[in-house]
Structure 1
Amino acid sequence: MRHHLFAALALVTLLFASLGLGSGATAQILPGTGGSAEPETSESAAGEPSGRLQTLLEILKDDTARAELISELEQGLAGTSAAAEIPADTVAEAVADTESDISLGRRIALVTQDVAETAVAELSTIWAAMGTSGAVFNGLGGNELSILGDALWDLGLVIVLTIATFLILRRAAIPVYRRMGHRAEAAGPVRTVLIFLGSVAMDAVVVMLAWAIGYAVTVLVVGEFGQIGIRQTMYLNAFLLVEMFKVAMRAMLSPSAAGLRVLPLSNRAARRLARNFNVIVSVIGYGQLLVVPIINQGVSFAAGNAVSALLALIVLLHLVVLVIRHRAAVADWIMAQLSLTDPAATAEEDARRETEAEVATETGFAPAFTGPDAVETQSRRRGGFLRPLAANWHWFMLAYLACMFAVVMTQPPNVTFAALIASGKIILALILASLLSGLLSGMVGRGVRLPQDLSLKLPLLEPRLNRVVPRVLMAVRFVIMLIVVLFALDVIGLIALRDWMESQLGYRVTSSLISLAGILLVAYGVWLAMTSWVDYRLNPDYGNIATARETTLLTLLRNAGTIAIFILALMFCLSEIGLDIGPLLASAGVLGLAIGFGAQKMVQDIITGIFIQFENAINVGDVITVGGTTGTVEKLTIRSVSLRDVQGCFHLIPFSSVDMVSNFTRDFSYFVCDMGVAYRENVDEVKAAMVDSFEELREDADQGAAITGDLEWFGLQSFGDSAVVLRARIKTIPGKQWATGRAYNGILKRVFDERGIEIPFPHQTIFFGEAKDGSTQPIRIEGTATPAKA
């Protein structure tokens, strides 16, 4: 939402209102509203309407009888003078309109017909009034300036004293305003608001002091002691009202202290805008509250009306000149506001553009997306569809001023004053909406910043809030825009907002919207609290370190809780907007049953996964063998387990295919050493070598920390083909058995080599075969001249 769209929408609606498009519909001529209405009413009062109405209802329900009635009415009206006033086709249309099943096309035709006729009538009236608009100045007699000069001469002392006092006090207060502005720039939000309220109060006190001094001097010095004239009273009251209105304007613009300015304006723009506002408010305020009453009293009420119209016309011409002169500057300012983004992102983008410009200067090659066109494209992308409205704001303002000109020239002063009051209400609503929109824009730009301690405890809380809170604030800005537009339409009479709000439909719509917003906020708060608690439990830097089982279960809890909260919030929202969720729940149950039968494998996956989780068989990070595959668990859901084997291959195994789980990292682990030595070696010597190797392994700084027990000696395990197998076992922490075993094997090899213990390898006996006479094949030995005889 862009807060400068408010003005455009309000001005368009004012234009439509001035053209009469919001007027009430012209009453339709229905049967019984003519001369026969009174007898029917009297008979009804006598208690005899039921039979007649029943007969008429039966005639209207019967197509044949209704056609005969229409024909008789046409014949009866053909020879009377009433036929000229109420045509026969109008009567037929009125009878046809009483049908309850009137078509949609006919309804639209009736509405558009009424709007068109009303618009033409209003335009005709305005055109006729514009033709005689000069008559508003006929009341001027030529002696108004002399009478006004005499009155101002009598008021001269009071005027000079009051204005001089105000200017002196105001000039003395300006340095204080500036110091307060500097303090507000470095203060927090609460202190800034207090400083702002203090500056407004001080400005109002300056006005009231000047007014009080002027009142006291007038009563005590001017004229007779203790008395004050009506003209002096009118001036002092006009001074108080006009200057207090200027105080409100200065509070918004703060031309003297940039730190207290609530609107995003430069110092020059704020001073210029305040100066023009002062001129307009002074002309309208003093003119209506002082000049017009003096002319009414001294000349005539017609002359006063003419002076009032003349002052309004001067203000309108001044506004037209200002709009035309500053249309480009204001359009640029509005577009800059439409392009408002996160300050950090804007600074990063500016830095990127400077870097690209330096690269282009050094290399001679311009980047692909830099320069004015790129800036314009980025700005257009941020401004969206509001940019054309902002660029052409002056046309909306000129249209509004044209409407006000027509009102001033054609309507009596009370209507003109009412239009000015309505415009003031809309402008005030726009200012308040702009303030709120500016505050929300600043909050969106700054984002959510949590305390450092809380961010360390909950590192994901701030990113989650920054993903949602800006969107919520943008939605609030849109609601503010909608409220302002509806308020403007209500003020100018196009809609009856209060009546609609008090109606049953309006109450249901507003209550439903508020309830929906509450449901969504509560659901988001519950989800945020749940996820934050899970994050805190899983944070290893705070509290107890979560075990692998707790990590898995908390992760599954977060996923399941998110789904449950979403479904519950959706159900509550559907119920709040009036949908009966009972059949929906029944349909969902039937659908779930059908899906369960059709997806039995998936249901089996889920059920098996639930039991596996309750039995704490698998956790993320465990090394397991499941479904014939061994690997490290990387991901665990309610339906499947994901493994990464030693070759780096990723395996996704559904629980429905799991019949056994082998976990190598539960509680503790063992490295089993089956050592083969030659048959000739002494077992006791081999045992001593293996024990010594274990002690050396335990003294190692890296491997010793993983060993949790002494070497367990099992003895001679088996007799192999070429070796005697001796078994021992080392207890380690979970998952360290493989690294410990590899290190132990390396030490064993070195110790056996040093002590001459043979680690045998497979032996084979070669038999060449022999004949029945005992001879065999000759063997040729390389390097000999004759073959050997067997």
Structure 2
Amino acid sequence: MSFYKISALLLFFMLSVALPASASTLRPAPAPERKDISSIADVIAPKLQELITGDSDSEIELEETFGTRALSFVLDSFKVLSKEGAQFIDNFAALPQLSKWYKKQRQNPKKVEQWLDMGRLLLIVLASAYFIRWLAILLFYPLRSRLRKKKFKSAVRRFTAAFLRLGVTFIPIFLFIAVALLTIEQSQPDKWSSFMIMTVIYALALFQTLLITFRFFLAPRSKSLRILPISTENAAFIKFWASWYGGVLLFGTFLAELAKNARVPQAAISGFGSLVALVIIVMTIIVITKKKMLVASFIRGDALPSNKGHSSVWQSMRSWIARVWHVLAIAYLVIGYFVTMMGPQGSFLIMQQGTVGTLLVLVVVRLLLYLASKVAYKKQTDPTSVGIYRPVLRFFIKVLVWSLGLTCVAAAWGVDVGILFASSWGQRIVGSAFSIASTILVLIAIYEVLHFIIERKLNLRDSEGNIIEPDPRSRTLLPMARNVAIFVLGLIGVLVTLSEFGINTGPLLAGAGVLGVALGFGSQTLVKDFLTGLFILIENTIAVGDVVKLGNHAGVVEGMTLRTVKLRDIQGYLHILPFSSISEIVNMTKDFAYAVLEVEVAYDSDLEKVIDVVKRVGDEMYKDPTLKGSILEPMDVLGVDQLGASSIAIKSRLKVTAGKQWGIRRGFLLRIKSAFDAAGIEIPYQHIVYVNKTEAPATPEKS
């Protein structure tokens, strides 16, 4: 490639020199001066040198893209992992340096003598201290045995015996330390040996103290002295593993101190620390696998009777966590170990801080969500105070709690959450969230005011606190107005939310208008239902609670919308009729009604007497205090209405309150039967007469 570029430049150079020379035949020109040729050569020579060698002093600026940034991040992460991984491996690889350190110690006669003197003194100190401790244990063994086997009925005696046993158990440890210190004091070793021996003595004493403390709280061999309310099996399990954890951590820490004092290489000490941490992780994994079913049962809440047969999102989450908790815990331990060992300085502290912070946040979030559910489902005795603000308030509390919880969790893990409020996009998010929340709260407040007014109208009370039945028109229009208010306010909330999300609502409204026109042409029946229902509501033709007949359907109006009406017939069937299908409306409870009363008497009855009896019964009902307010006017006896085949029909009517006509009619029929029987007036009915040719005619029997 450079060959072609060199050839092109040479050709250009030759042409630039030859063309003026050839042009001299056409027009004489002065010959070029030497200094001009030298300046051209000075310009071309560096270019030729760059093409031949490939070197260039000018840097090519590359444009940074998302791919290059992602690749750079991956490469940088790989470098960090490689570096930290190599250091992690070096820590373990440094353990063999102990052998080199041991060889150096053996090759130094003074060090060998110092180690031998320290070892002999350590054996003397441990032998004497353990001998005195053993004697003290034998001395107090009968008392400890009696306390362990004795049964205590009261909690006070049990605690007293437990503390007495604890004090008796600590006496051998005090004697152990005292004898060790006295022996060291009498021997007067050098400072280095004294430090090494005292470190061993303190490690053993602290380990014994840990065992006694675990035994005090758990008491695996004595249920009567056990402080914690757990079973014997669990007490023994916890004591066993707690002792192992305490021993590994305690002796690991003290051995590291002894190694530092013995001038062991720091790399070997770091490798030893990594090894101790690995042992702790393996022990924890063993404990998790042994008790995974017990912890899973606790997480699911199997011991709680209230959780049986209960299904909810929270219960489903608990069931999922119960199934996989051991996998999550083991993964957390393994990742935490490698992060701690391979991460930068302070990574272990950050991880522990993030873990504890996350757990605390989850507990607080759970408590706040429980309180939010109590706010949402609190029972109300006043119907005017029951609106939609409780479910909406519960939703906003949930969103706020989870947002704050996630923010606290991020802060606990070291994330700079202040950037959320400092950056432009963060301020935009917070501002939009505030606008949406404030708008929805204002809309809820408006709805609650309307809801309060509507409920007060529908639940009016007199001076004695009794509920006054509202008129049918109010029962029809007010609930419908509430539904319309919910739709309008909800639409405003949706439009404001979409606008805050950056969506232009103008085209949406235009599209909705076009869609509405298209639906109007395509759904003329729906439009007819709407218009018919609107005029029925405006004209107050029917209302909720009216008894109506709509075509072939009759019943009580239970509810109305702008499109349909709901009827409940006498058999309890619910009829939902669109207004467009209604061709005839008969309202049987509009303003007032007549209880039409028709009785039939025999042809041989005294009609004047019959009419008097009917009037008397009507007057009695009109004056009856129990029917006061139901019968509006005295009875109107219309007289003889029909001459039937076997009876004469007498018709009358009572003007009553709308809806009372059926009850008044039933009461009148009951009273008129008793009055006719008392007056000897016969009500015709069918008779069956049996005729026997050989015997006398039988008396008629009632059919």
TM bracket (short chain): 0.5 to 0.7
Is the partner of 1:455 in helix, strand or coil? coil
CA distance in 1, matches of 2:410, 2:496: 29
Determine if the alignment matches structure 1 residue 712 to structure 2 residue 671.
no
Aligned AA for 2:332?
Answer: M
Identify which of 374, 382, 386 aligns with 1:457. 382
Gap runs ≥5 in structure 1: 1-72, 147-254, 257-265, 350-374, 763-781, 784-790
Matched-pair contact (CA < 8 Å) for 1:339–1:379: no
Residue 748 to residue 400, structure 1, CA distance change in 2 (3 Å): closer
Aligned AA for 1:456?
Answer: T
Identify which of 356, 365, 378 aligns with 1:437. 365
Residue 333 of structure 2 is matched in structure 1 by 398
Matched-pair contact (CA < 8 Å) for 2:384–2:451: no
Is the partner of 1:625 in helix, strand or coil? strand
The within-5 A match list for 1:483-498 is 483-484=407-408, 486-487=410-411, 490-491=414-415, 498=418
CA shift for structure 1 position 744: 2.3
Aligned-pair identity (%): 23
Residue 401 to residue 661, structure 1, CA distance change in 2 (3 Å): closer
TM-score (norm: length of structure 2): 0.56
CA distance in 1, matches of 2:84, 2:685: 117
CA shift for structure 1 position 656: 3.1
Determine if the alignment matches structure 1 residue 744 to structure 2 residue 663.
no
Matched-pair contact (CA < 8 Å) for 2:647–2:684: yes
TM-score (norm: length of structure 1): 0.51
CA distance in 2, matches of 1:74, 1:394: 66
Residue 672 to residue 545, structure 1, CA distance change in 2 (3 Å): closer
CA shift for structure 1 position 82: 3.9
Residue 324 of structure 1 is matched in structure 2 by 285
Residue 569 to residue 532, structure 1, CA distance change in 2 (3 Å): same
Determine if the alignment matches structure 1 residue 558 to structure 2 residue 478.
no
Residue 457 to residue 647, structure 1, CA distance change in 2 (3 Å): closer
Determine if the alignment matches structure 1 residue 662 to structure 2 residue 586.
yes
Is the partner of 2:634 in helix, strand or coil? coil
Matched-pair contact (CA < 8 Å) for 1:331–1:393: no
Larger Rg over CA atoms? 2
Return 631-640 or 700-709, whichever deviates more: 700-709
Determine if the alignment matches structure 1 residue 504 to structure 2 residue 433.
no
CA shift for structure 1 position 517: 4.6
Is the partner of 2:652 in helix, strand or coil? strand
Residue 501 to residue 122, structure 1, CA distance change in 2 (3 Å): same
Identify which of 640, 651, 658 aligns with 2:564. 640
Aligned AA for 2:657?
Answer: I
Q: Kindly provide the CA deviation profile for residues 106-141 of structure 1, in whole angstroms up to 9, marking residues without a partner as x.
A: x55x45543443344334323443454379899999
Q: Kindly provide the CA deviation profile for residues 491-548 of structure 1, in whole angstroms up to 9, marking residues without a partner as x.
A: 4xxxx65446533223323433454455555555665675576566556886544333
CA distance in 2, matches of 1:299, 1:319: 25
Is the partner of 1:673 in helix, strand or coil? strand
CA shift for structure 1 position 588: 1.6
CA distance in 2, matches of 1:338, 1:524: 38
CA shift for structure 1 position 579: 0.8
Aligned AA for 1:406?
Answer: M
Return 513-522 or 662-671, whichever deviates more: 513-522
Residue 114 of structure 1 is matched in structure 2 by 72
Q: Kindly provide the CA deviation profile for residues 211-237 of structure 1, in whole angstroms up to 9, marking residues without a partner as x.
A: xxxxxxxxxxxxxxxxxxxxxxxxxxx
Matched-pair contact (CA < 8 Å) for 1:380–1:387: no
Gap runs ≥5 in structure 2: 1-45, 106-110, 118-216, 219-227, 687-691, 694-703
Matched-pair contact (CA < 8 Å) for 1:458–1:532: no
Matched-pair contact (CA < 8 Å) for 2:594–2:661: yes
Determine if the alignment matches structure 1 residue 728 to structure 2 residue 652.
yes
Identify which of 534, 546, 566 aligns with 1:622. 546
Residue 749 to residue 532, structure 1, CA distance change in 2 (3 Å): same
Residue 300 of structure 2 is matched in structure 1 by 339
The within-5 A match list for 1:517-536 is 517-520=437-440, 523=443
Q: More relative contact order in 1 or in 2 (CA 8 Å, sep 6+)?
A: 1
Residue 518 to residue 399, structure 1, CA distance change in 2 (3 Å): farther
CA distance in 2, matches of 1:328, 1:487: 32
Matched-pair contact (CA < 8 Å) for 1:667–1:734: yes
CA-atom RMSD, angstroms? 5.7
Residue 382 to residue 659, structure 1, CA distance change in 2 (3 Å): same
Residue 259 of structure 1 is matched in structure 2 by none
CA distance in 2, matches of 1:516, 1:570: 9
Matched-pair contact (CA < 8 Å) for 2:350–2:413: no
Q: Kindly provide the CA deviation profile for residues 652-678 of structure 1, in whole angstroms up to 9, marking residues without a partner as x.
A: 333234465332223432213355667
Residue 773 of structure 1 is matched in structure 2 by none
CA distance in 2, matches of 1:393, 1:710: 86
CA shift for structure 1 position 717: 6.3
Residue 299 to residue 267, structure 1, CA distance change in 2 (3 Å): same
Identify which of 605, 610, 613 aligns with 2:537. 613
CA shift for structure 1 position 309: 4.9
Q: Kindly provide the CA deviation profile for residues 574-608 of structure 1, in whole angstroms up to 9, marking residues without a partner as x.
A: 11111111221222222223323333332332233
Matched-pair contact (CA < 8 Å) for 1:457–1:542: no
Residue 91 of structure 2 is matched in structure 1 by 133
CA distance in 2, matches of 1:672, 1:74: 122
The within-5 A match list for 1:165-564 is 309=270, 313=274, 316-317=277-278, 319-320=280-281, 323-328=284-289, 331=292, 335=296, 339=300, 345-346=306-307, 381-383=316-318, 385-387=320-322, 389-404=324-339, 406-407=341-342, 415-416=344-345, 418-440=346-368, 442-443=370-371, 450=378, 455-458=380-383, 461=386, 475=399, 478-479=402-403, 482-484=406-408, 486-487=410-411, 490-491=414-415, 498-499=418-419, 501-520=421-440, 523=443, 538=458, 544-564=468-488
Is the partner of 1:456 in helix, strand or coil? coil
Residue 224 of structure 1 is matched in structure 2 by none
CA distance in 2, matches of 1:622, 1:717: 30
CA distance in 2, matches of 1:643, 1:82: 95
Residue 314 to residue 441, structure 1, CA distance change in 2 (3 Å): farther
Matched-pair contact (CA < 8 Å) for 2:472–2:545: yes
Residue 80 of structure 1 is matched in structure 2 by 53
CA shift for structure 1 position 436: 1.1
Aligned AA for 2:341?
Answer: A
Residue 598 of structure 1 is matched in structure 2 by 522
CA distance in 1, matches of 2:359, 2:636: 85
CA shift for structure 1 position 380: 8.6
Residue 653 to residue 406, structure 1, CA distance change in 2 (3 Å): closer
Residue 124 of structure 1 is matched in structure 2 by 82
Matched-pair contact (CA < 8 Å) for 1:536–1:542: no
CA distance in 1, matches of 2:426, 2:389: 33
Q: Kindly provide the CA deviation profile for residues 181-230 of structure 1, in whole angstroms up to 9, marking residues without a partner as x.
A: xxxxxxxxxxxxxxxxxxxxxxxxxxxxxxxxxxxxxxxxxxxxxxxxxx
